[in-house]
Chain A
Amino acid sequence: MASTIGSAISSISATPRRSSVATAVNGISSLKSVSFSSRRKSLPSIRLQPAPLRFRISCAAKQETVDKVCEIVKNQLALADNIIVAGSSKFSELGADSLDTVEIVMRLEETFEINVDEASAQNIATVQDVADLIEKLAAEKSA
């Protein structure tokens, strides 16, 4: 089944990522994902679409952080090998339920030695969001 092609594009220098202008309304992020992957249909063809330039407000997380998050997510959700998880992958589309989510958060806390409180976790929609949050928390910790 066609899945996100984020990994193919993330190696390009202008890595598109979601803008950080998150409108959190009492805990709900109304931000729409800027997934540039092709819309998945039941046919296995993948259409490459040009990646839109994103307006960067804060620094994107290091690729190795994103990769580590992807690994933890894939592990937790026991995804089939052909399903690619990348920065742009949305948790809602990967079938993560609440128990998966808390397990992932806990694993991330152990791996990166941070503490994720519910408030900072509420705006997370993609793997990239998680990676950014991790680096933010890690930076605050060492500050």
Chain B
Amino acid sequence: MNQFIRRGMLPMQGGVLSHRLFASLPPLTPSPLPSRREAHLWYVVPDELKDASQLKKYMELLSSCERERVLSMNGERLQKGALLSRALVRTTLARYCRVNPQSIKFKTSKFGKPEIMWQHGDQCNQPSLQFNVSHSSSLIACGITVDVPIGIDVEEKQRKTMSSISSLARRYFSPSEVEYLGSFSNTDARQKEFIKLWTLKEAYVKALGRGFSGAPFKDFTIRLEATKAMQLAAVPRVHIEADSDPEYLTDNWEFALFELSSSHYAAVCMERDISHSGRENEPLRLKVWKTIPFVEDEFVSGTNAVKYICGLS
């Protein structure tokens, strides 16, 4: 996949080093921005990446701070995961901004949510890209939207908890969610429902961007509700519990829940577009790509890699 790179094409930031870097890596396929009601998801499967020289190239994309953090992870597996996580974020954003992935700067919001720090002259600040990352030990995903906040979460379908599902639910979930989980007598089914609910709740909290303590799981319920639209059975909706803070916990959010790569449950949460009235019940549109940055991209929406559960069109 070594293509001749025309130097004039992409805005090169940084000095000689970035020129040399770009000479050794093929360009990232530029992507058109998601539309207003659309989310894009790019994911990488770490176990499929065994090429040490490829990993080394990803390392070169990171800031020195990120590199330090990667190296401080405890063990090679965690280091690889941390590296791929940063490489995925940078390369994904670079596809939409058409910049050198190395040049993107990040900051955290006052609540600790990672954001892009726009520089003077960036082509990407209007409209503004929003992103969120999630990883399990076997899959890393990055969600992208334009303008609206997004939160995503991925969990292994087979993930086993040390504590029982019912004790975890009683401690952390809302009463109606506890009741919902309790209605599954089959422990395997209950475990799967727990994981699905967990990813939805986690995606919501991450979309809100206030951290786990800013949106305690007990303070809101997510459940499936019938929609007016005929083609959908039900969509997940969030309800704020009566005695929690309505200022921070809002309910104008859309959710999508699906199986990803046959191995994971994935949830995407994005702010509902209420500017177009009558379209509130339109489902979230999602496009998914599997990637090994600079090596291979595969559009997987509509394939077995993305199996709809609820909320998606």
**What is A's interface to B at a CB cutoff of 8 Å?**
1, 3-4, 25-28, 39-42, 75-76, 79-80, 83, 89-90, 93-95, 97-99, 101-103, 106-107, 109, 118-119, 121-122
Q: A102-B168, A119-B213 in contact; A28/B111 too (CB < 8 A)?
A: yes
Tell whether, in the assembled complex, residue B162 and residue A107 are in contact, meaning their CB atoms are under 8 Å apart: yes
Tell whether, in the assembled complex, residue B216 and residue A3 are in contact, meaning their CB atoms are under 8 Å apart: no
Tell whether, in the assembled complex, residue B159 and residue A99 are in contact, meaning their CB atoms are under 8 Å apart: yes
**What is the interface residue range for chain B against chain A?**
20 to 34
A-B contact pairs, 26 of them (CB 8 A): A1-B74, A26-B214, A27-B210, A28-B108, A39-B68, A39-B72, A80-B75, A83-B74, A83-B75, A89-B74, A93-B73, A94-B78, A95-B73, A97-B135, A98-B212, A99-B161, A103-B161, A103-B162, A103-B163, A106-B163, A106-B167, A107-B162, A118-B213, A118-B216, A122-B211, A122-B213
Interface residues of B in 34-63 (CB under 8 A from A): none
Tell whether, in the assembled complex, residue B76 and residue A1 are in contact, meaning their CB atoms are under 8 Å apart: yes
**Most chain B CB within a 10 A radius of its CB, from A41, A79, A99:** A99
| CB nearest neighbor in A for B167 | A106
Q: A107-B162, A107-B163 in contact; A95/B78 too (CB < 8 A)?
A: yes
Chain B positions 116 through 145: 1 when the CB is less than 8 Å from some CB of chain A, otherwise 0: 000000000000000000011100000000
Residues of A within 8 A of B213 (CB): 27, 118-119, 121-122
Residues of A within 8 A of B111 (CB): 26-28
| CB nearest neighbor in B for A118 | B213
Given contacts A28-B108, A89-B74, 19 further A-B contacts (CB under 8 A): A26-B210, A27-B112, A27-B214, A28-B211, A40-B72, A42-B79, A93-B72, A93-B73, A93-B74, A95-B78, A98-B202, A99-B161, A103-B163, A103-B168, A106-B171, A119-B213, A121-B213, A122-B212, A122-B213
| CB nearest neighbor in A for B195 | A99
Cβ of B81 under 8 Å from chain A: yes
